[in-house]
Amino acid sequence: MWKFNAKTHYIAELRGLEEGENVRLAGWVQRKSELGGIVFIRMRDATGSVQVVLREGNLSEQELTAARGAGIEASIIVEGSLRRDPRAPGGLEVIASKFILVGDSKDFPIKPGVGEEFLLDNRHLHIRTTRMRNALMIRMEVMRATEEWFVNNGFVRVEAPTFVGAAVEGGATLFEVPYFGKKAYLTQSSQFYLEAAIFSFENVYTIQPSFRAEKSRTRRHLTEFWHAEAEMAWADLNGMMDVVESLVKYIVEKVVERASDKLEALGRRMEAIEGRFPRITYDEALELAKRKGAEIEWGEDFGTEVERLISLEFDLPVFVTHYPKKAKAFYHKQDPKRPEVVLCADLLAPEGIGEIVGGGQRIESENELISRIVEEGLNPEDYKWYLDLRRYGSVPHSGFGLGIERTIRWIAGLPHIRDAIPFPRTPVRLYP
Amino acid sequence: MWKFNAKTHYIAELRGLEEGENVRLAGWVQRKSELGGIVFIRMRDATGSVQVVLREGNLSEQELTAARGAGIEASIIVEGSLRRDPRAPGGLEVIASKFILVGDSKDFPIKPGVGEEFLLDNRHLHIRTTRMRNALMIRMEVMRATEEWFVNNGFVRVEAPTFVGAAVEGGATLFEVPYFGKKAYLTQSSQFYLEAAIFSFENVYTIQPSFRAEKSRTRRHLTEFWHAEAEMAWADLNGMMDVVESLVKYIVEKVVERASDKLEALGRRMEAIEGRFPRITYDEALELAKRKGAEIEWGEDFGTEVERLISLEFDLPVFVTHYPKKAKAFYHKQDPKRPEVVLCADLLAPEGIGEIVGGGQRIESENELISRIVEEGLNPEDYKWYLDLRRYGSVPHSGFGLGIERTIRWIAGLPHIRDAIPFPRTPVRLYP
């Protein structure tokens, strides 16, 4: 770990040192108490926390006064010697020989009992709490594992633009941006751009923000979310599901391996996934949901509640395939054996979480694509470059998008998606 | 590399096979010729290209007719046996026993002699050319090396929001977005959010898009660019420069190591950087620029042309430090020894490229920060949460932002920044 001059060690490094070694630590006051004139400070840094013991004789009166006055979250630098003490939390403490109050902190506002809205309004401070730190470290591991899987499997990273010129999937949930006298929209998905890139690199991906102007205030929607997307030349629906299954298993495996302490601290039990993910059709899922009391007709897309019912029936993530054509976007390839359904698959995470991945096989024929665009009441002129991809050496291909925050919410067992991202954005939340 | 059923091998894997082995390849027609009734197809896939030999006897008349008719960029599947032939380019060829024309391609529009605007209008096809493929592979290596450096050095990844509620650095170059009856802006920098995160994780970074509504049409500006940013608790200006130097050297080293063939194909000579980056002050840089004929007064920020003049004087990237306070944003810490300058550093890439990194030490005192906000004619009310970071355990800290596309432009030796990103966005370019 990169280290600056303020400290000789990170707290996590103390474990490997000898008793009596001199260290200089820099961090923040997590807790403080005084017993018989001795000040005990629980000090945290980026890597952990340790007890610091400050007593007369070792420190000047000024230093002791500063230590006594230091508020919760004050920043401090401590020099001292390491002592192993089984009574100390973690079995270690630092006997201070020098104390510097770097930046004081009075009445740190994040306290037990404050409300949810207050915490969101003070997100810039709330992220310092142990719970948020654990959630965000799990987030980082999910992001890293996702990137790693693609690197390990030879996918080429290709970034798509955020500004797009046309309202690709229809305009209901698009953010519009004035753009030098024209109109631009914020991307909802990198899919079309990744489809262009398969002709260069075959298997491509990106991990970047997507935007949805959805007014729905649910526990699983954000207006801005991180989206891992991939497109693969020569992949059919089953090939795509194999990729998604391998990716999701890898993410879970690596998070469990690298952040088990964070999962545990959040009270989450999670293990690497052994079995194959079940693959059921929309029709089967529909029957299942109906048996559970859902009122839904064949042809409708599954909403949050129906997905919840289905996913509660499985211990593993489950693929739901072959949705009705009319429930899905125009670019999905129809099943040649049954043209009223398309070759698509959503992956529903268990425990009621619902969709974390959506994908499928894309139409590769120009004529078929034009027919579907027209059938949906859209204008083929708006899809000129996208149609070009079917004019010059078109190939069968499939792709998918994985919602990073939904995946984190599932793996970390978070009650609300907003805690899966450092600074959440919803229709009513633009601050801090 | 992940592989789908259409192929048994990627072209790059052929080198490791025995003569006579049977392979099935899937890819696109790069070139085609016919000699004495034998059809030669130069076929490419994501990994390379190989010569395919199609002759009577081995193939049906139908297959030969299809092969003869296949246009440039048609997608094809070929089965055949591997032959080593020193006369073939790459020393290998595939003697076809089966040929499938998957998707034909007539009059592929990317041809020698078409104009720049035409290529930009057909970017979705232009990215298939060898030159663009090489540039984009170098881009990927720059992105990966950047991420890797941060991972290797224990930095925690923290994503910042794209939608921000306040016009942080002044509004001249901000994109405004209607947001559920309110106004949002697109982020210009993740800096403030990363500063909030140092109190949890000390050394933090992100790599994500930033947005600038700059009308300037230069070879080094995009309205949307990828921005690698970091903030580090306890880091002073020198500590920050050490980080930047290590990062930039790592990026160059890894690109040279992993993409030397792509650099070579682009005609670019680049080597890993051995020496330390020179560190000169603004005053020294100003004198240098004036000697070279620049007309500039002390206090002005350096423009494109002045940076070009300075960077031409050095073989290595050079840090320019201690700019006049009035040339930099309000959050830069003043030099205690010389308050008219701030503790900042820009890194200028050589060969006239100019700034690729900007950064510096941030003001850690609340009062000093408020004074500077007021001095700049801004309203401290708009910086409420940012000021909070100085109220609760403030620490000395520094940070920087590295422009990914500028860095790629330099390393790959690209004449224009737009070729450093798959789908560039400029004031006049929103398509495809």
Tell me the pLDDT tens digit for each residue of B377-392: 999 999 999 999 999 9
Mean pLDDT of B187-195: 97
The whole-number pLDDT of residue B27 equals: 98
Q: Is B422 on the interface with A (CB under 8 A)?
A: yes
Q: Are B6 and A75 within 8 A, CB to CB?
A: no
Tokens read off for B424:
């560039």
CA B78 to CA B43: how far, in whole Å? 9
Q: How many CA atoms lie within 13 A of B121 on its CB side?
A: 7
Mean pLDDT of A240-254: 98
Tokens read off for A356:
């974390």
Work out whether the CA dihedral B253, B310, B420, B144 comes out positive or negative.
positive
pLDDT higher than 90, residue B318: yes
Q: Are B46 and A124 within 8 A, CB to CB?
A: no
3-class secondary-structure state, position B114: coil
Q: Are B197 and A127 within 8 A, CB to CB?
A: yes
pLDDT higher than 80, residue A141: yes
% pLDDT > 90, chain A: 94
Find which of A222, A234, A366, A400 to mutate to test the B interface (most B CBs within 10 Å of its CB).
A234
Mean pLDDT of B345-354: 95
The ipTM of this complex is 0.97
State in Å, rounded, how far the first CA of chain A is from the last one. Answer: 29
* Cα dihedral value A248, A251, A257, A260, nearest 10: -90
The whole-number pLDDT of residue A214 equals: 86
Q: Is A387 on the interface with B (CB under 8 A)?
A: no
Q: DSSP letters along B217-230, please? A: --TT--SEEEEEEE
CA A398 to CA A378: how far, in whole Å? 22
CA A27 to CA A117: how far, in whole Å? 28
Which residue in A has a C-alpha nearest to residue B239's C-alpha? A4
- For residue B157, give every residue at least 6 positions away whose Cβ sits within 8 Å of its Cβ, in sequence order, or none: A140, A143, A144, B150, B204, B205, B206
Mean pLDDT of B144-157: 98
Q: Is A217 on the interface with B (CB under 8 A)?
A: no
Q: Are A153 and B124 within 8 A, CB to CB?
A: no
Mean pLDDT of A356-369: 98
Q: Are A105 and B73 within 8 A, CB to CB?
A: no
Mean pLDDT of A7-35: 97
Q: Are A2 and B153 within 8 A, CB to CB?
A: yes
Mean pLDDT of A399-416: 97
Burial class (CB in 10 A: 0-12, 13-18, 19+), A231: buried
CA A233 to CA B47: how far, in whole Å? 13
Q: DSSP letters along A87-155, please? A: TSGGGEEEEEEEEEEEE-BSS-S--TT--HHHHHHTHHHHTTSHHHHHHHHHHHHHHHHHHHHHHHTTP
Mean pLDDT of B303-312: 94
A288: closest CA of chain B, how far (Å): 32
pLDDT band at A169 (very low <50, low <70, confident <90, very high): low
The whole-number pLDDT of residue A89 equals: 83
Mean pLDDT of B51-58: 97
pLDDT tens per residue, range A277-331 = 999 999 999 999 999 999 999 999 999 999 999 999 999 999 999 999 999 999 9
The whole-number pLDDT of residue B166 equals: 76
Q: Are B224 and A389 within 8 A, CB to CB?
A: no
pLDDT band at A219 (very low <50, low <70, confident <90, very high): confident
The torsion region of residue A418 among left (phi > 0), alpha (psi -120 to 50) and beta comes to alpha
pLDDT tens per residue, range A367-397 = 999 999 999 999 999 999 999 999 999 999 9
Q: Are A243 and B2 within 8 A, CB to CB?
A: yes
Q: Are B324 and B340 in contact (CB under 8 A)?
A: yes
pLDDT higher than 80, residue B172: no
Q: Is A385 on the interface with B (CB under 8 A)?
A: yes
The whole-number pLDDT of residue B168 equals: 63
pLDDT band at B167 (very low <50, low <70, confident <90, very high): low
pLDDT tens per residue, range B257-292 = 999 999 999 999 999 999 999 999 999 999 999 999
Q: Is B390 on the interface with A (CB under 8 A)?
A: yes
3-class secondary-structure state, position A371: helix
The whole-number pLDDT of residue B209 equals: 98
Q: Are A163 and B73 within 8 A, CB to CB?
A: no
pLDDT higher than 70, residue B169: no
Which residue in A has a C-alpha nearest to residue B226's C-alpha? A159
Q: Are A58 and A95 in contact (CB under 8 A)?
A: yes
Which one-letter DSSP state was computed for residue B416?
S
Which residue in B has a C-alpha nearest to residue A393's C-alpha? B74
- B 329-368 residues with CB < 8 A to A: 364
Mean pLDDT of B93-118: 97
- B 143-162 residues with CB < 8 A to A: 143-144, 147, 151, 153-162
The whole-number pLDDT of residue B385 equals: 97
Mean pLDDT of B39-67: 97
Residues of chain A in contact with residue B128, where contact means CB-CB under 8 angstroms, are 199-200
Mean pLDDT of B159-179: 86
CA B32 to CA A234: how far, in whole Å? 23
Mean pLDDT of B163-179: 83
Which residue in A has a C-alpha nearest to residue B47's C-alpha? A201
- Pick B392's closest partner by Cβ from A73, A143, A153: A73
pLDDT band at B13 (very low <50, low <70, confident <90, very high): very high
Q: Are B203 and A46 within 8 A, CB to CB?
A: yes
Residues of chain B in contact with residue A180, where contact means CB-CB under 8 angstroms, are 213, 215, 427-428
Q: Are A124 and B202 within 8 A, CB to CB?
A: no
CA B308 to chain centre: 20
Q: DSSP letters along A265-279, please? A: HTT-------SPPPE
pLDDT band at B215 (very low <50, low <70, confident <90, very high): confident
Q: Is A91 on the interface with B (CB under 8 A)?
A: no
- Domains detected in chain B: 11-103 (2.40.50.140), 120-420 (3.30.930.10)
Q: Is A69 on the interface with B (CB under 8 A)?
A: no
Q: Is A369 on the interface with B (CB under 8 A)?
A: no
Which one-letter DSSP state was computed for residue B188?
S
The whole-number pLDDT of residue A168 equals: 63
CA angle A318–A323–A326, rounded 5-degree value = 150
CA B388 to CA A110: how far, in whole Å? 12
Q: Is A13 on the interface with B (CB under 8 A)?
A: no
Q: Are A393 and B74 within 8 A, CB to CB?
A: yes
Q: Is A33 on the interface with B (CB under 8 A)?
A: no
The whole-number pLDDT of residue A424 equals: 98
pLDDT higher than 90, residue B115: yes
CA B429 to chain centre: 18
The whole-number pLDDT of residue B171 equals: 64
Q: Is B118 on the interface with A (CB under 8 A)?
A: no
Which one-letter DSSP state was computed for residue B88?
S
- The 3-state secondary structure of A220-244 reads CCCCEEEEEEEEEECCCHHHHHHHH
The whole-number pLDDT of residue A234 equals: 98
Q: What's chain A's average pLDDT? A: 96
pLDDT band at A167 (very low <50, low <70, confident <90, very high): low
Q: Are B423 and A140 within 8 A, CB to CB?
A: no
Q: What's chain B's average pLDDT? A: 96
Which residue in A has a C-alpha nearest to residue B196's C-alpha? A124
Which one-letter DSSP state was computed for residue A285?
H
- A 71-90 residues with CB < 8 A to B: 73-75
Question: What are A332's strand-pairing partners?
Answer: A362
Q: Are A393 and B75 within 8 A, CB to CB?
A: yes
* Cα dihedral value B292, B294, B298, B302, nearest 10: -100
- B 305-334 residues with CB < 8 A to A: none
Phi first, then psi: give them for residue B346, nearest 5 degrees.
-105, 145
Q: Are B162 and A199 within 8 A, CB to CB?
A: no
Mean pLDDT of B250-255: 98
Of A314, A385, A303, A308, the residue nearest A354 (C-alpha): A308
Whole-model pTM: value is 0.97
Q: Is A381 on the interface with B (CB under 8 A)?
A: no
